[in-house]
Amino acid sequence: MRDQAEMLRLQMLKSQGQHSRSIAIVSGKGGVGKSNFSTNFAHALLARGKKVIIVDMDIGMGNIHILLGVTPRNSLKDYLDGTNSLAEVINRTSNGLDFISGGSGLDKVMEWKPAMFDRLMEAFEYLQKAYDFILFDMGAGATERAIDLVLAVEEVIVISTTEPTSVTDAYSMMKFICLRDPDKSFHLVSNRVPPNDDGNDTATRLQFAMRKFLGKETKILGFLPEDPAVQKAVLAQQPYILLYPKAPASKRMIAIAETFVQKEPDEAVQKESGFLKKLRSIFMKGRG
Ligand SMILES: Nc1ncnc2c1ncn2[C@@H]1O[C@H](COP(=O)(O)OP(=O)(O)O)[C@@H](O)[C@H]1O
Ligand SMILES: [Mg+2]
């Protein structure tokens, strides 16, 4: 009965023609700039009049709130374990960005219980109605469930620096995801690109490898230069795109958001998408 009601709700959502884009920001190795990308990309989308929320999936070790300079009221964990309602874990910054904090200070990896998946799905159902873009900043602690979540979202933005190890790790990550869901839409961003380098080399190599070894087409979104404004903004706990709008990284970020907004996901992806449906089937696997 419950599943039928759920299906109906999903159908209703679809027939209302609502299409929000859910995007996971991932990388091979950590420290390449995912969280800074997420917060600044979110503001670039906000500036285009879009409704955006960031969900910090680095549960227990989140730092989105630090980058935004906000002390969050509650965290995703508080919602998942039933302590707080969804409304109580959505924070809004003075710059108008909504986010759900991953929380910090959790000394061990959170244990996922079945009831938590139900809560997560309920949350996403609401978020899809309320926002144009849901950005999942994926943490370093790539737990199995976090990877399940990446498999459920329609689109993935892969951040890589130009270092060879970062590029090979990014490829491994994409391969891992692609083998489980060949229909996923991948977008590539090279970060910390040195001066006099247009960043195309890294992205083109990744694109080539994906095509050659996995027969998978990917899209290059653009690159972000190595820019001292990024570190300065991190220290100031403000997005660089707001603090230093004329900085090279900010200009590039605006171009990236522009490209992204114009590139709707492939029709094939849209057709079979149904983020919630996917999430459900992935999380329900092995549950009886
Ligand atoms: N484009 C850039 N230019 C200069 N420094 C950068 C850039 N992007 C990221 N960084 C540096 O890398 C650090 C880690 O970035 P972060 O977004 O926290 O990575 P991740 O979320 O992938 O672990 C930042 O604190 C900043 O100092
Ligand atoms: Mg991070």
Q: What are phi and psi of 68, to 5 degrees?
A: -90, -5
Domain boundaries, the chain: 20-284
- Give the DSSP per-residue string, 71-90: --SSBHHHHHTTSS-HHHH-
Tokens (6 digits) for 175: 């391969």
Nearest alpha carbon, ligand 1 atom 6: 230
Q: Which atom of ligand 1 is nearest to the CA of 31?
A: 23
Per-residue model confidence (pLDDT) at position 107? 67
Quote the CA–CA distance of 165 and 60 in Å, as a whole number. 27
- Give the DSSP per-residue string, 230-286: HHHHHHHTS-HHHH-TTSHHHHHHHHHHHHHHHSPPPHHHHHH--HHHHHHHHHHTT
Per-residue model confidence (pLDDT) at position 9? 52
Per-residue model confidence (pLDDT) at position 114? 79
**Cα of 78 to ligand 1 centre, how many Å?**
28
Nearest alpha carbon, ligand 1 atom 26: 231
For 20-284, CATH number out of 3.40.120.10, 3.40.50.300, 2.40.30.10, 3.40.50.150 equals 3.40.50.300
Splitting the chain (288 residues) into consecutive groups of 10 residues, what average pLDDT does each group show? 50 55 91 96 97 92 94 93 95 96 78 81 88 90 66 91 93 92 94 87 94 95 97 98 98 97 64 63 59
Quote the CA–CA distance of 189 and 36 in Å, as a whole number. 13
Q: Which of 193, 234, 235, 244 to mutate to test the pocket of ligand 1 (most atoms within 8 A of CB)?
A: 234
DSSP summary character for residue 163: S
**Cα of 63 to ligand 1 centre, how many Å?**
12
Q: What does the angle CA 93 – CA 132 – CA 18 come to, to the nearest 5 degrees?
A: 145
Nearest alpha carbon, ligand 1 atom 8: 33
**pTM for this one?**
0.88
User: By three-state DSSP, how is residue 53 classified?
Assistant: strand
For ligand 1, say whether the CB of 27 is within 6 Å of any of its atoms. yes
Q: How many CA atoms lie within 13 A of 146 on its CB side?
A: 23
Q: Which atom of ligand 1 is nearest to the CA of 226?
A: 3
Per-residue model confidence (pLDDT) at position 96? 94
Q: What are phi and psi of 157, to 5 degrees?
A: -105, 120
Quote the CA–CA distance of 123 and 85 in Å, as a whole number. 9
